[in-house]
Structure 1
Amino acid sequence: MKILHTLHWIQFAGTEKVCVDLCNEMSKEHQVYLLSNEKILPYLNNEIQLIDFDFEKNRYNPLFLYQTAKLLDKISPDIIHCHNTKEIEIMKYAQFFLTKKIPIIATKHTLQYKKKYNLADLCVAILEDTKQLLKQESIIIKNGMAYQPPTKIARPNKFYIVLSGRLDKMKGFDIAIEALSLLNFDFECHIFGQGEEQANLQQQINALKLQDKVLLKGFSNHINDVLYSCDLQIIPSRFEPYGLVAIDAIYYAPLMISSHTGISEQILSEILKFDSNPQALSAKITEVYSNYSNFVAIFEQIKATKDIFSIEKMTTSYLESYQNLIASYGSN
């Protein structure tokens, strides 16, 4: 099968990781092309044919759409898989200039309603909440990720807490920082990620005099090693459409606690969840610290289910949906 993925690059975060992992896995048995920004190249294997493409251009410009159509004609994919709303519009409108139309599948990665998803021939929701936002035919394929064997690394010689993700208000890192200021035991917390909230979070850390205990560490390409070496991963998000960081934890961390959101709400025992406010989180961290081995044993039962979230399982589901869509498209 010749598969074309499209990705409007912003930064390497959840959507980008899903797309990259799918492309890498699919390229083992299929011919995979990716329209995206060249910045994504270091994350791709050598089998994928990356085409640098500017999704910022005017999606209503006839010349741009005609040029895109010529590119699609040259690639001649069996299917197009879009990971963002604007991509769907560009891929759909460009086909005005094509004799043979190409089926479009689109994954809904966020909880923002976007009516242009109705331009896709089939939509994929990553969770039940996401499916409710789609007004057209859709299926659910839950996110997985590629497992990277971890290695133990140097770590603080005290209770070591890790948070990771885009530094965005939605992610609740400010809630976690305030909660950490309420703890009465020695710890060190590293926050991995980049984003627009970095300056505000550093200001909060300084105001609470946590500079020696809470450190913003920036983006890491080795978060699997970090999580494997920590004592606790926390997901304090106000809300998550899915939350790939939870799958990171299942693969690598000895223990995770999370707010009631995304995939964590479905897979975690109630004892591993907390209300998304500083007081509730502080109380939960203290409870974990005081009964650490018991909490680890509870989380071990969830870690035993990690194969459910494998990239192989997710890829198989997508390939089946591709084949079904192609077959139905040809019969119309």
Structure 2
Amino acid sequence: MRICLVLASWGEGGLERHAIELANALSLTHQVSVIVHPVMIDRFAKAIQVFPVNMDRNRQNPFLLYDIWSILKNNPFDIVHAQASKATILLARIRPFLPKTIGFVASMHNQKSALWAFARMDHLILGGNDGLLGGRTLSIPVSCIYNGIVPSGTQGWTRDRLVQEFGFNSESLVYCAVGRFVPAKGFDILIPAIAASGVQCLLIGDGPERAELEALVQKTGAKVVFSGYRKDGMSLLSVSDGMLISSRNEGFAYVFVEGMLAHRPIIATDIPMVQDFLPREVIVPVDDVAALTEKLNFIQNEPQEWDRLMQPVWAKADAELTLENMVLRVENVYNAIVKSRFEQGQH
């Protein structure tokens, strides 16, 4: 199958990682191309044909639209797969001017207020449950396919090394929280709860709220250490005693999957993907310092019960959140579209 993935973002985020891992895995058995920002060129397998396009331009830019149209017009793709909103909007605008033989797929990773562009595709893949649609429906087929990953592993890290390097008390549990320092991640809720419960936590990440969060740690006396952005952040998480998620809203959370596949106990706020995996006993309401504090006290006092509650979670993650499972399900979507296109061509 001739497949082209379109990614309009760039950097080190979960969306970029997903697109890279999906493209690389598909390239083992298909002819795969990608249309990406030039800074992403070297991040794909050698078997993949990379079309660099300046994605800095906005989604209405006629030159950006022309560049993508030209690539798709002059290459015989069976499937074009847009990753997230901007790429989907670009494809929706140029689709009327492209060959009717192409099948179009879009992936949605976070809730969106406008769905018009996604509705112009042949199939929508939700990187989570149908809660991403917010109760709305589309006239095209929709599949829920969680993003499978290749776990980062420990990369030489151990708990003893983590404790020593970041100055924690080895006799107490050490938790990790990972994410960009923005309001959506709810770290301003997590820090007061950490202070009230007396637990210790490594906060991995960076972002525009860092100064405010550091000030909050000083004010509350929370036992929090800031690591800054770390490429090995998932490995640090994998040797901690547990993961804390305080998000106000979230689409597909790579850190959540990493935590489950590393068999880390987890406490998380009540966000869509969490609801599909964690038992209610380890889920807390969003924006509720008191509830989060109570749950942190519980896991401090009952670590064996926390571990027991997580056993079926880890088993489910091991079965469903592998890269191989994700690729197989995505291929099934592609095959259904190609089959439909072929049958339509026979009439």
Map 1:130-141; keep pairs closer than 5 Å. Answer: 130-131=132-133, 132-137=135-140, 138-141=142-145
Query: Secondary structure of the residue that 1:221 maps to in structure 2?
Result: coil
Distance in 2 of aligned mates of 1:99 and 1:60: 21
What SS is found at the alignment partner of 1:9?
Answer: coil
Give deviations 1:10-64, integer Å, cap 9, x for gaps: 5432322222221122122122222222333564333333332223435445554
| Equivalent residue number for residue 49 of structure 1 | 49
1:331 corresponds, among 326, 343, 346, to 343
The aligned counterpart of 1:88 is 88
Matched, 1:177 2:191: yes
CA distance in 2, matches of 1:268, 1:99: 44
In structure 2, what is the Cα distance between the partners aligned to 1:233 and 1:209?
20
Q: 1:235/1:112 Cα in 2 relative to 1: closer, same or farther (>3 Å)? A: same
Distance 1:136 1:193 in 2: 39
For the pair 1:290 / 2:301, whether they are aligned, the reply is: yes
Q: Could you say if the C-alpha distance between residues 171 and 62 of structure 1 is closer, same or farther in structure 2, counting changes exceeding 3 Å?
A: closer
1:195 deviates by 2.9
Question: Hey, what does 2:73 align to over in structure 1?
Answer: 73
SS in 2 for 1:51: strand
Matches within 5 A, 1:1-332: 1-41=1-41, 43-57=43-57, 59-60=59-60, 62-99=62-99, 101-114=101-114, 115-125=116-126, 126-131=128-133, 132-137=135-140, 138-150=142-154, 151-153=156-158, 154-156=161-163, 157=170, 158-184=172-198, 187-210=199-222, 213-276=223-286, 277-305=288-316, 306-332=318-344
Q: Given the superposition, is the C-alpha separation of residues 32 and 245 from structure 1 closer, same or farther in structure 2, using an over 3 Å criterion?
A: same
Per-residue CA shift, 1:197-237, capped at 9, x if unaligned?
22322232233244xx3122233222332122101101111
Please state whether the residue corresponding to 1:182 is helix, strand or coil. Answer: helix
Q: Which stretches in structure 2 are left out of the alignment for 5+ residues?
A: 164-169
Letter in 1 for 2:18: V
- 2:55–2:64 contact (8 Å) kept in structure 1: no
Alpha-carbon distance in structure 2 between the residues aligned to 1:62 and 1:224: 39
2:8–2:37 CA contact under 8 A, matched in 1? yes
Report deviation, 1:315.
0.8
* CA distance in 1: counterparts of 2:293 and 2:61, whole angstroms: 53
Shift, 1:311, TM fit = 1.1
Q: 1:135–1:97: structure 2 CA closer, same or farther, 3 Å change rule? A: closer
Separation in 2 of the partners of 1:260 and 1:58? 34
> Over aligned residue pairs, what C-alpha RMSD do you find?
2.3
Q: 2:167 is matched with which residue?
A: none
* 2: CA distance, partners of 1:325 / 1:259: 37
CA contact (8 A) 1:55 1:87 kept: no
Output the CA distance in 2 between the equivalents of 1:298 and 1:227.
19
Shift of 1:242: 3.3
- Three-state SS of the structure 2 residue aligned to 1:155 is helix
CA distance in 1, matches of 2:175, 2:83: 32
Shift in alpha-carbon separation, 1:42–1:166, aligned structure 2, 3 A:
farther
Matches of 2:162 and 2:324 in 1, distance apart?
A: 32
TM-score (norm 2): 0.86
Amino acid in structure 2 at the alignment position of 1:310: T
* SS of structure 1 residue aligned to 2:162: coil
2:81 & 2:99 partners in 1: Cα distance? 20
Whole-angstrom CA distance in 2 between matches of 1:67 and 1:259: 42
Q: How many residues align?
A: 328
Aligned CA distance change for structure 1 residues 254 and 63 (closer, same or farther; 3 Å): closer
For residues 269-301 of structure 1, the C-alpha deviation after alignment (integer angstroms, 9 at most, x for no partner) is 122112231111111111101111221132123
SS in 1 for 2:80: strand
TM-score (norm 1): 0.89
CA contact (8 A) 2:2 2:32 kept: yes
Aligned sequence identity (%): 21
Compared with structure 1, are the counterparts of its residues 225 and 64 closer, same or farther at alpha carbon in structure 2 (3 Å cutoff)? closer
